[in-house]
Amino acid sequence: MNLRISALEYAEGVQNGSISAEDFVAGTLEHIAKVDEKIHAFLSVYDGAVDRARDIDKKIRSGEKVGACCGMPISVKDNICIRGEKTTCASKMLEDYVSPYDATVISRLRDEDAVFVGKVNMDEFAMGLTTEFSAFGPSYNPWDTSLTPGGSSGGSAASVSAFECVASLGSDTGGSVRNPASFCSVVGYKPTYGLVSRYGLISYANSIEQIGPLARTVKDTAFLLDVIAGPDPHDNTTVKGGGRYLPGIESGIEGKKIGIVSEMTGEGTDPAVASATSDAISRLEGLGATCETVSLDMVKYSVAAYYTITATEAGSNLARYDNLRYGYDLGVEGYEFNSYVEKARSRFGPEVIRRMILGGFVPSAGHAGRYFLKALKIKSKLAREVGGAFEKFDLLLSPTVPMLPFEIGAKIDDPVSLFLVDINTVTANLTGRPAISVPFAVSGKRPIGMQLMADSMCDAELLQAAFALEQTVRLPEVPL
């Protein structure tokens, strides 16, 4: 069974009878059992997925209509709720939590006959960039297992890259889909804020996070976005008017104006990444686009603003974990209420505790004006700067991450160095814009992704440009 195919190739194969959903899903589970010892992408694997796939085959044989996903095996980041399954957020705090409901994205994929093969690893509560902050141990990059797969959706990216599924869902608060997509050489998409429902996503920083797909190709990404996007009465931040993304994806980018963000391509960029960026610019120009440098002054402050805002929102969001309504098994007998809650919450990992301390400190009386309020002002000014750029340009380009994938453990003790991995990705989150990471080059065994960003609700145009860029490169296969 050839598992190295795209989601659309899979769906076409099942529809024309050349692929059996049951065989493909069974093959996927066997492959997971074989390779995941090395990759550790999965926190839980659903053996019942084969039964679901068998049902799809039966439906097809009996002439019943099947959904567009045709039983395609999909992995899901472990902060997205699937009814009856554990949703741990890679935290000891939620290690026994079983969700009583489906996230909206899960319902929509189910309605189209997707098959979920398991939950994948992440940094605890999505706070991190490498999966090293998972309470259940890190994931490893399929390109080179000494390297981090990126994060926080590192399990999602690694599982797609290692052919343990055809696509995955992640969440992107500051680059958590795009960063691991870049490190693992897969496509990662952060939609316009509000395009995809967050109902059933365990909250980290509600004002900026979005669920996004990771897939092998830009077309697969557009296909998945068609399934999961759209208004949801359960999430008041969802917006109308998204449209369709796969039709028209081959429209090309002739005549488009692309801004090259100088603050994301200059000092501190690895030479191999800088060279790949120059190459990407040449290729886009070769396709008929015009490229010009643009400066976004507030990008310099965006990472500090991002961490100030997210720590504050995380401090509030994580206050709900008192272990009484959801959590792990810790008996209540013999405890006074406050000491029980304190004891229960000591199960949070060190990075989560650090960010909660920050989240208590930066908005507190005496410090809020210096940190939190200023961060909100930078967010507003950055949004105006980006809005101004999109009056002149159709798209903005930068490398997704200014550095190459690095060794596991290389930055774990240096929080500021880790923060700066996010420098090119947080702008899309702080301003609500859509952005995509497209696999573009490989330096040794270290993949490099290019990031394209578009104006709000221009997701279709963004995917068209990403598809055009993707067609200009032929990359080596992951050396599994």
Partner 1 sequence: MVTEDEIRHVSGLMRIKIDDYKEYIDKVNAMIAYFDILDSAGVESEEVSFHEMSVSDLRKDSHIPFDGSLIDQLKHYKGAYVRAPKMSR
> Which of the following is catalytic: 20, 176, 197, 302?
176
364 binds partner 1 (CB under 8 A): yes
241 binds partner 1 (CB under 8 A): no
φ, ψ (nearest 5 deg) of residue 311? -65, -40
Residue from the set 5, 274, 304, 368 that interacts with partner 1 by CB under 8 A: 304
Minimum distance of partner 1 from residue 456's CB (angstroms): 11
152 is catalytic: yes
What tokens appear for 337 in the block? 């209420």
Kindly list the strands in the beta sheet with 73-77, ordered across the sheet, starting from the edge strand earlier in the chain.
42-45, 115-120, 73-77, 167-172, 210-215, 187-190, 435-443, 446-454, 395-399, 257-261, 290-294
155 binds partner 1 (CB under 8 A): no
89 binds partner 1 (CB under 8 A): no
Residue from the set 58, 61, 343, 392 that interacts with partner 1 by CB under 8 A: 343
Least Cα distance to 127 among 318, 295, 284 occurs for 318
Least Cα distance to 39 among 117, 133, 137, 171 occurs for 137
Q: How many residues bind partner 1 (CB under 8 A)?
A: 65
Residue from the set 16, 18, 63, 100 that interacts with partner 1 by CB under 8 A: 100
> Which of the following is catalytic: 152, 153, 171, 185?
152
Q: At what angle do helices 49-61 and 21-39 cross, to 10 degrees?
A: 160
392 is catalytic: no
Q: Of 420 and 473, which CB lies nearer to partner 1 in the complex structure?
A: 420
- 72's CB contacts (< 8 A; 6+ apart) are 7, 10, 11, 14, 114, 115, 166, 167
Type of residue at 27: G
375 binds partner 1 (CB under 8 A): yes
Q: Of 116 and 371, which CB lies nearer to partner 1 in the complex structure?
A: 371
What tokens appear for 229 in the block? 């996007």
153 is catalytic: no
Minimum distance of partner 1 from residue 364's CB (angstroms): 7
Minimum distance of partner 1 from residue 434's CB (angstroms): 17
Task: Candidates 7-15, 65-73, 166-174, 352-360: pick the segment binding partner 1 (CB under 8 A).
Answer: 352-360
CA separation for the pair 246, 409 (Å, rounded): 39
Distances (CA, A) of 391 to 131, 379, 396: 37, 19, 12
308 binds partner 1 (CB under 8 A): yes
Strand ranges inside 23-112, DSSP E: 42-45, 73-77
Residues that bind partner 1 (CB under 8 A): 96, 98, 100, 233-234, 236, 298, 300-301, 304-305, 307-308, 315, 319, 322, 324-333, 335-343, 345-346, 348, 350, 353-354, 356-362, 364, 370-371, 373-381, 383, 414-416, 419
Which positions are annotated as active-site residues? Answer: 77, 152, 176
